[in-house]
Amino acid sequence: MKEIINKYKILGFILLSVLFVGCSSDDTSSVFEETPTERINSRINELRTLLKSSDTGWKAVYFTDNTQLGGFTFFFNFIDDNNVVMSSDFDDDTSLLTSKYDIVLGSAVKLSFTTKNDIHKLSDSANAPDANLTGRGYLGDFEFLYYGVDETTGDIIFRTNRTQQELRFVKATTDAVTSISESLVIPELLNDPTKSVYQNLAITSGGVTETLGGTYNPARRFFSATGINRSIDFGIAFTSTGIIVSPAIEVNGKQAKEFVYNATTDEFVADLGDSDSVVISYADAPPFLTNDNLVVVQADNAYGYIDDFLFEAPSTSTNYRLLRDEVNNGLSAAGFRLQRVSFFFSIGGDDTFNVIQYRLENIADGSTFNINHFVTFENVDGKLILTDDGWSDPGLIPFVAAIDNALTNPSGLYVMQEDFRVRFTNTIFTFTSAEDPSIRITTYAFQ
């Protein structure tokens, strides 16, 4: 009996073996004609040839993260198998520099800029646009995964190594480098400190215009616009004639992406045809008025500009800073400087008792004294108008007149409660001259 069982076992083994052999397929043809190594090599060679194929080089507009940063324009010329000549509009230095590049296998075949050049400025942990990006620079990559060629346009399609965002290398025109140099004036037009702090984003669609109030952050190249019903944020890159925005703004099924600067009207215009357009322009007033001017004058409210903390605040305008410098120049001869400008409203509930107070600091010993300018207020058309009602020390008026004239101009002030903080948790209110909206002062609310 045992022997029979053994026989079956043996038979089983044999059958199993036969089965194994039977399972081997004769179909040994490959899915691809080449081995993986050959395919990778040919992909590497393909990209290398492609990069060198453009005599005029390549141009790329790189938005590292269009939810918080703008775009940077690069020019690349791959002069041989190892060296690339590069320029960019990252800063004012647009000179051409040579560095190394390589094409290697990462998660796919990738172009890697292997020694320092302009592209690495986006990936410098020590150089961020502001403190919120400390350690992360401009979130840039300098290794790009190769995804082939756009057959229609001839663009080389890459994806960034870290974030897998598409980045296209477009065949450069002969004036690509000059064009980068020319584009350096555009940021100055978009962020002119002598002009109004208010910028509008006007979207015209089917004959109806929606206006949003915008703020441009020059360090981040980023525009944030807020309207009544929605907010629109986008990064900005510069061209020789205007700007490119990303993400594009959709209007009536069309994409507003490229804006041209119109010097006559001082506007950036994306003309989408059929009277549809998107326009970025300076504005004399905020696009919609708030009631914040009515809020600040409530009984015993106080707001203070503290020079040590708010002079550098992004919301403190350049033209206000110039006024402060003018005041300090006058005070320095006497050994003083401006330490604070405060507003006290409806003191003790008396709405005729209001003060703009200038606190001066003795530079030698740190002691302070105040100059009080008593004022009355009116709220007219969303503006706060402060009117002279006497001074504590009339002889000292000339020392603070530069700022005081702006604050007590009969045209009044636009008051805005801001949604950001500066250093402390106090709510921030800004006061902007309606007469000259390039003058804006930032204050802490003290209640």
Partner 1 sequence: MIKIQRAIKAVLAVMLLILIGSCDEDGSLGESQLNTETPDLSELDKYIRSNYVDTYNIDVLYQWNENVVDYNRFLFPPTEEQVQPVLEVVKKIWLDSYTEIGGEDFVKLVAPRQLLLVGGRNFNRSGTILLGIAEGGKRITLFETDLVDVKDRGNITRFISTIQHEYTHILNQTKPFDEQGFGRITPTEYTAQWFNTSIADARELGFVTDYARNDVVEDFAEMVNIMLVNSNEEYNAIVDAIANPQARVDIRAKEAMVVEYFDTQWGIDFYELQAVTARNTQEVIN
Q: Which is nearer to partner 1, 104 or 334 (CB)?
A: 104
Question: Hey, what are 133's tokens?
Answer: 């990006």
Tell me the C-alpha distance between 91 and 2, whole Å: 90
Q: Which is nearer to partner 1, 19 or 263 (CB)?
A: 19
Instruction: Tell me the closest approach of the beta carbon of residue 136 to partner 1, in angstroms.
Output: 5
Instruction: Tell me the closest approach of the beta carbon of residue 148 to partner 1, in angstroms.
Output: 22
Tell me the C-alpha distance between 146 and 160, whole Å: 9
Angle (deg, nearest 10), helices 318-332 and 397-407: 170
Instruction: Tell me the closest approach of the beta carbon of residue 309 to partner 1, in angstroms.
Output: 19
Instruction: Tell me the closest approach of the beta carbon of residue 46 to partner 1, in angstroms.
Output: 15
Q: Which is nearer to partner 1, 123 or 438 (CB)?
A: 123
Tell me the C-alpha distance between 230 and 208, whole Å: 16
| Range list of H helices, 242-300 | 292-296
Residues of the shown chain interacting with partner 1 in the complex, contacts defined by CB under 8 A: 3, 6-7, 9-10, 13-14, 17-18, 20-21, 35, 37-38, 41, 81-82, 99-100, 102, 106, 112-116, 120, 123-127, 134-137, 139-140, 142-143, 161-162
Place of tokens 């709220």: 379
Question: Hey, what are 1's tokens?
Answer: 């009996």
Work out whether strand 166-171 and strand 198-205 pair parallel, antiparallel, or are unpaired. unpaired
State whether residue 55 is helix, strand or coil. coil
Instruction: Tell me the closest approach of the beta carbon of residue 134 to partner 1, in angstroms.
Output: 5
The radius of gyration computed from the CA coordinates of the chain, to the nearest angstrom, equals: 32
Q: Which is nearer to partner 1, 20 or 263 (CB)?
A: 20
Q: Which is nearer to partner 1, 37 or 367 (CB)?
A: 37
Tell me the C-alpha distance between 415 and 429, whole Å: 7
Tell me the C-alpha distance between 442 and 440, whole Å: 7
Q: Which is nearer to partner 1, 67 or 376 (CB)?
A: 67
Residue 247: asked if its preceding bond is cis (omega within 30°), the reply is yes
Instruction: Tell me the closest approach of the beta carbon of residue 87 to partner 1, in angstroms.
Output: 15
Instruction: Tell me the closest approach of the beta carbon of residue 10 to partner 1, in angstroms.
Output: 4
Reported in sequence order, the residue ranges of 301-382 that DSSP labels E, i.e. its strands, are: 301-306, 336-345, 354-362, 368-380
Q: Which is nearer to partner 1, 136 or 171 (CB)?
A: 136
